[in-house]
Structure 1
């Protein structure tokens, strides 16, 4: 009998990738969300208001979330909390003992640079409603015994956030980046999807290839796991290759970029230049993925794979 997987947020970028990968892996998929997912059966769910219907599901991957770089203020905080915290609480109430993989974010970590960040790094000091509410939501999931995944800067086909934001920042063929070049972790959406499924798979279906990211080696023990590509990237090189070789990168002082972001926040609530976006690219953040590797997870996708399938257009 085919096992049934409930995927919340399956109409979104990451949720759609998980739903498609689950079908390929032999799951029957139910997509919970306000809109239908790319595969499987649609089960309507407004995470900000309702309890989800999980009847017949054997396991759940929770990706429904309020995402993005919201403006400061109580209204944004309430809107993000309604989905990322209260919606997670409603899901946990309906879980009924089913295995849960909760997709969080490396944005929960206290700001840091330098050595690779392990899962024990402090979860505090988040500077946006997104980071704060993702931290609060994952705390509920961890207390309930879930596997919590913390990817950083997810990219891939159909990415609505990372690459479009960079493209929008190019002016006259020039991209201003805060601070000197640095090293950072990125996460291919295919690697995130593989980790979601690997964390659920029973050991009696193990595959012969131990280096395959889709190798069932689970179920993973409850707890938090960093998820990223196999190696970190040099920021400037990765951005230049993703945007096109005609783009010229110019470094500006971090303090100047931060001040400009503060000014932009007062002028427009939808500015692409925010304090959070400056911090994301100014400071090298590398995730330590040893814990996931100990469960047999070895990411097989990287930026080169993405660039081979995603046409690069020169920005002007």
Structure 2
């Protein structure tokens, strides 16, 4: 009996050692996270997230803060916990909506969206702020002491929640661009300080655009990926362009509806020779549209640079060895 047990244990250990263990989707399973924003710094991939805390019965968002995770193998994730909240910003009130952290000239700038208090600078509505740190995990401080973008600065749409979901792109010449918007997409050049506008705000509306833009460059092609109204609920569609300012050519749907959530949100990054597509769904037990969870799957390109449709999996991506 002892010999049989020993042999069974040996076979089990061999099987575990030779199995190509993969992550599970969703990748974060102990709290509800959304709006993934990956950043590669040195040999580590950092993931900046929103945080859903609404109860199962609630029918609106409850998002008190932003969190950070990291990985070096795409399977095991280190949890740094809550690293930023709207309470850091004296001008802010309300929830912690989608945000993105970028590295530029020795510092980390976390562009966030929340709501603005009624004061001398704004009469309220969604706004974009900037936090800064010397390290990817903080501590972060308010980089400006006021909002970078307020509702009064964009007048093309009447609703108060249009200035959300910032994404920042640093081009090869180090020019920095900020993109954002719900209902229409806006972009503006930023000064090298990352804390001031360097020109006028331009508004445009990509086909089926709703919110959540993500901008990056691959080879000579610029990509604008966003949450869309291809069919309801949201899908992910994209455009490409020869420059960071367009003109943008519509390329189609790359991600179909996600499980158990009427929103989704893209985050795209290359890491250790592979391309990855981050998004959120409502797949965890008791999850849903206000209790979302982040997933990641492989991203693949065609020879002409167009993106192949995303295959949503429950097994996630293969580990980096």
Common fold, TM-score beyond 0.5? no
Shorter-chain TM-score range:
under 0.3
- Which has a greater percent of helix? 1
**TM-score, normalised by the number of residues in structure 1:** 0.27
Structure having the higher Rg: 2
- Higher strand proportion: 2
